[in-house]
């Protein structure tokens, strides 16, 4: 213990260098840990963009476009599938629930998704986290909309407000359905998924705005049907973009996928989102690795800083080592002293880094959720963090052995001849 006491006092006497060294290790540790949290958070946001949905079924095409389009709303929807097929899927004995979605409209850059009310009871963005309403609720009326948290925040929309849809999915649309505004009846809680950036309207709504359209073209003014007229009507849906399916028993997922992929009435593609997302993420994973590699290098730089500062102190402390030896300290005590110093610097730095990480996360988390839709978990200390902490500590002590060995050699060769 005298070793730690001496190391402590010696470090305190060089407090400026000590502080800077501890700080640099703390900051590099913080970076590593935050990169790790972001990595885990990004993966969770990506893979968790959809959960508890066992199958996504759409018209025959690539499984990737189907996934990207239905879950992330990336790219334009491929060809549609028949609504009657959805009915068959829903009626299948292995199906627990099925939710149709229709895409193709947007509102000021946010995708509009036509769906059934079942969507809100079955769709889960994160494991065991159902969609919940921050305000209002979903309505069964045709011209109503539920909006994601981001949409509400960015566009400053409130329950009771109206929004007009535009045809197409660009920010600026060539045709808007301004004559048929939708009443906002609900705002969803943030989920950290594409849901936050979406607007949900009833299936009938998507039909209604196009009711008087023919072959994808808007009606001539005299043929246009007024919104009041439309509100009273019921609409038959013929086509939808995709179906989200939940199965009764997980063992049926593969069977169902095979069954619907080879459906006779219509060519379909069925993907298992969990598996597909995992694969996709693995494919994109090199970015993640690069990020981690950079963070590891930053930590190495921090540790090297420690090495340099301890090493630099050696020459001015040779006399100190000689004094200790004259008092009966063995060279291994000298070695231990410098090792203790490295351990204290690195341990202190890494512990401070853990703390800084917590502070950063707590302070920045709301902003990160809002800005990037990224949920960074706030759990106290993850096991990965403790592993990193131990790794940093161990490598710090190992690096510390370099100056310690040098001091050991010095103390053997210097004897007691070091004088002022």
Among 16, 91, 327, 363, binds another protein (CB under 8 A): 327
Nearer to another protein, 232 or 328 (CB): 328
**Contact flags string 356-395 toward another protein, x per CB under 8 A:** ----------------------------------------
- Residue 408 CB, nearest approach to another protein (Å): 11
Residues 307-326 that bind another protein (CB under 8 A): 319-320, 322-326
- Which residue among 109, 331, 365, 401 contacts another protein (CB under 8 A)? 331
* Residue 417 binds another protein, judged by CB under 8 A: yes
Of residues 6-35, those binding another protein (CB under 8 A): 6, 9-10, 12-13
Binder to another protein among 329, 343, 361, 407 (CB under 8 A)? 329
Question: Taking Cα atoms as reference points, which of 356, 410, 371 lies closest to residue 24?
Answer: 356
The contact mask relative to another protein for 148-187 (x = CB under 8 A, - = no) is ----------------------------------------
Q: Which of 232, 265, 328, 367 binds another protein (CB under 8 A)?
A: 328
Kindly state whether residue 409 participates in binding another protein, applying the rule CB under 8 A.
Answer: no
Q: Under the criterion CB under 8 A, does residue 405 sit at the interface with another protein?
A: no
Binding site for another protein (CB under 8 A): 2, 6, 9-10, 12-13, 319-320, 322-333, 412, 415-420
């Amino acid at each position: 213990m005298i070793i730690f006491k001496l190391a402590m006092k010696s470090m305190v006497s060089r407090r400026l260098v000590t502080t800077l060294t501890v700080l640099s290790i703390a900051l590099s540790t913080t970076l590593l840990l935050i990169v790790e949290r972001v990595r885990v958070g990004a993966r969770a946001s990506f893979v968790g963009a959809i959960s508890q949905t066992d199958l996504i079924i759409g018209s025959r095409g690539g499984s990737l476009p189907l996934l990207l389009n239905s879950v992330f709303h990336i790219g334009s929807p491929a060809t549609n599938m028949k609504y009657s097929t959805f009915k068959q899927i829903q009626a299948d004995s292995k199906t627990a629930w099925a939710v149709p979605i229709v895409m193709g409209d947007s509102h000021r850059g946010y995708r509009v998704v036509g769906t059934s009310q079942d969507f809100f009871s079955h769709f889960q963005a994160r494991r065991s986290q159902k969609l919940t309403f921050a305000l209002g609720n979903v309505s069964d009326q045709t011209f109503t909309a539920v909006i994601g948290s981001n949409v509400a925040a960015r566009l400053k929309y409130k329950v009771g407000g109206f929004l007009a849809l535009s045809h197409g999915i660009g920010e600026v649309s060539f045709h808007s359905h301004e004559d048929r505004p939708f009443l906002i009846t609900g705002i969803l809680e943030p989920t950290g998924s594409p849901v936050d950036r979406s607007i949900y309207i009833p299936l009938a709504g998507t039909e209604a705005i196009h009711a008087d359209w023919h072959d994808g073209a808007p009606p001539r003014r005299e043929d246009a049907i007024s919104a009041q007229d439309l509100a009273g009507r019921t609409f038959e849906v013929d086509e939808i973009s995709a179906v989200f399916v939940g199965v009764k028993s997980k063992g049926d997922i593969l069977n169902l996928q095979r069954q619907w992929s080879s459906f006779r009435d219509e060519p379909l593609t069925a993907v298992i989102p969990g598996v597909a997302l995992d694969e996709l993420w693995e494919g994109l994973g090199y970015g993640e690795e690069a990020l981690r590699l950079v963070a590891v290098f930053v930590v190495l730089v921090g540790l090297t800083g420690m090495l340099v500062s301890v090493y630099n102190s050696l020459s001015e402390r040779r006399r100190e080592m000689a004094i200790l030896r004259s008092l009966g300290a063995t060279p291994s005590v000298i070695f231990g002293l410098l090792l203790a110093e490295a351990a204290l610097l690195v341990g202190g730095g890494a512990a401070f880094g853990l703390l800084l990480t917590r502070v950063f996360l707590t302070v920045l988390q709301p902003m990160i959720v809002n800005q990037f839709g990224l949920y960074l978990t706030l759990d106290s200390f993850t096991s990965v963090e403790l592993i990193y902490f131990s790794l940093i500590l161990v490598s710090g002590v190992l690096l510390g052995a370099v100056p310690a060995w040098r001091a050991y050699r010095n103390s053997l060769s210097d004897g007691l001849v070091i004088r002022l």
